Amino acid sequence: MATLLGADIAPQRPRVVRDRTEPSGHILEPEWSGTRVLVRIGGGPRFRGYAGTVEGPRELYDAIVADARCETAIIDGVLVLLEIDGESLLAVPLLERRRHLAGVLTPSPNVRLTPYVTRGLRSWHDTLLAQGFKRAVLKNWNSAYAPGKTTDDWLVVEKLKPAIP
């Protein structure tokens, strides 16, 4: 998928690790199962996965567009806003991109923003596991988005150890 500025991008890939000590400066969110795609708002449904263009459900696209307050955008699922009305947000820190996304999408029965926490990561990780999630994702809250790359700024973890004081 190309940004309005012409750059081809694919979803960022998290690095998978078995366990990790609870870090500071990170958020924790559930790891969703399914196919990871970027969605372009504007010009009809366009979905891009790791290997290129994928077929996506028209219902998902229609639900996102119906709840969006912008003309064009690129969204990494309902996790991160990457571009809005022609302005790239790839270099913008994660938490700021998430705030932009919350300002663009109105949560509805069909579109929900991924919840996350910035404190008490280990206890929320345990809650997510109890709710049936097998793993969670740690994300550096100051990280830029690295399209198509695997980065240590996003870590899928099975076990989160207590922080070392």
Q: What is the residue extent of each domain of the chain?
A: 10-32+115-165, 35-113
Which of these, 18, 164, 2, lies nearest to 83 by C-alpha position?
A: 2
Predicted local confidence at residue 138, as pLDDT? 93
Q: How far apart are CA 61 and CA 63, in angstroms?
A: 5
Token output for 139: 């994300």
Specify whether the CB–CB gap between 115 and 25 falls below 8 A. Answer: no
111-131 pLDDT, tens digit each: 788 889 998 888 888 898 899
Query: Across residues 85-109, what is the average pLDDT?
Result: 89
Which of these, 10, 22, 3, lies nearest to 138 by C-alpha position?
A: 22
Token output for 38: 């970027």
Neighbours of 93 (CB within 10 A): 15
11-34 pLDDT, tens digit each: 999 999 988 888 899 999 999 888
For domain 10-32+115-165, give the fold.
Answer: Dna Ligase; domain 1 (3.30.1490)
Higher pLDDT, 91 or 49: 91
**CA-based max dimension of the chain:** 51
pLDDT of 2 over the 70 cut? no
For β-strands 46-49 and 52-54, DSSP reports them as antiparallel
34-63 pLDDT, tens digit each: 878 888 888 887 888 888 888 888 887 888
- State which of 29-38, 71-80, 99-108, 151-160 shows the largest mean pLDDT: 151-160
